[in-house]
Amino acid sequence: MRSYAIGDIHGHLDKLIEIHRRIDADRAETGDFDAPIVHLGDNPDRGPNVPGVLEFLIAGQKRNEPWIFIRGNHDRMMWLFLQDQPKLDPLRHDLHWLNANIGGRATLAAYGVDVSDGRDVNDIHAAARAAVPAHHLTFLTGLQNSLHRGRVFFCHAGVRPGVAFDAQVEDDLVWIRPEFLNDKRDHGALVVHGHTAIDKVTHAGNRLNIDTGAAYGRALSAVVIEGDDVFELTDQGRVQVHATPVDDYV
């Protein structure tokens, strides 16, 4: 059983196009054009071209490509802000989507919204509702929280250890960090996730982190998983990723 997965995109259309080119090349090598490509979420924020990223993903969806779209915390925060009344994330009331460290202002600026300092948040909200196409909001609404496929479980941030996959809650799937990252037990499937930016694709044995920091100017990464084997897709083809012990997340 073959599956592809792509890490956190964060508005980088150019990197997303290149990653799909690598996947297409791998498909051509294997002759398998049906294996799903799982996008692990965090499509908006921080990068320069969120509208272009969403259009690219929606176009693939319309072509009935075997693409799966997972909800990330940034997707959720964008969706919440764009409701009739802007809402904070229910788990993180300390964070506002328009905070500089979150990236909502950069996202809206790419849609042509005036997000200059001092502008009233209600005015920004009204302008955002007018500027973001309805089909972009529909796409964000339709994101799924996870995918369990064979011996692999895909989600954005991770899982609550000790909780069955079908009992996991959205708050954990899009936000969890230390409780998951520091847990060494077998979760019953390899958990493939992003959310926590690292320098390189890392296989910790029970989990596989493929967020390599596109949000911070680093690479966007993709892997192909075949049974228990994991390969990173590079510009020179497949490179096997072996399980190695990792330090606890602090």
Q: Which helix (H) or strand (E) holds 56?
A: helix 50-62
For residue 225, the cross-strand partners are 3, 230
| Count of C-beta atoms within a 10 Å radius of residue 234 | 13
Give me the pLDDT at residue 19, please.
98
Give me the pLDDT at residue 250, please.
80
Q: Per-residue pLDDT averaged across 31-53, rounded?
A: 98
Give yes or no for a contact between 169 and 187, defined as CB atoms under 8 angstroms apart. Answer: no
Give me the pLDDT at residue 198, please.
97
Has residue 105 got a pLDDT over 90? yes
- Nearest Cα residue to 158 out of 227, 207, 215, 109: 207
| Count of C-beta atoms within a 10 Å radius of residue 58 | 16
Query: Where in the chain are the domains?
Result: 2-11+28-240
Task: Give the whole-angstrom CA distance, residue 213 versus residue 168.
Answer: 26
Give yes or no for a contact between 214 and 7, defined as CB atoms under 8 angstroms apart. Answer: yes
Give me the pLDDT at residue 139, please.
98
Task: Give the whole-angstrom CA distance, residue 47 versus residue 12.
Answer: 5
Q: What pLDDT digit, counting tens, does each position of 122-134 carry?
A: 999 999 999 999 9
Give me the pLDDT at residue 79, please.
98
Q: What pLDDT digit, counting tens, does each position of 46-79 carry?
A: 999 999 999 999 999 999 999 999 999 999 999 9
What is the model's pTM?
A: 0.97
Give me the pLDDT at residue 233, please.
98
Task: Give the whole-angstrom CA distance, residue 111 versus residue 130.
Answer: 10
Q: Per-residue pLDDT averaged across 151-163, rounded?
A: 98
**Looking at domain 2-11+28-240, which of 3.40.50.620, 3.30.300.30, 3.60.21.10, 3.20.110.20 is its CATH number?**
3.60.21.10
Task: Give the whole-angstrom CA distance, residue 243 versus residue 205.
Answer: 5
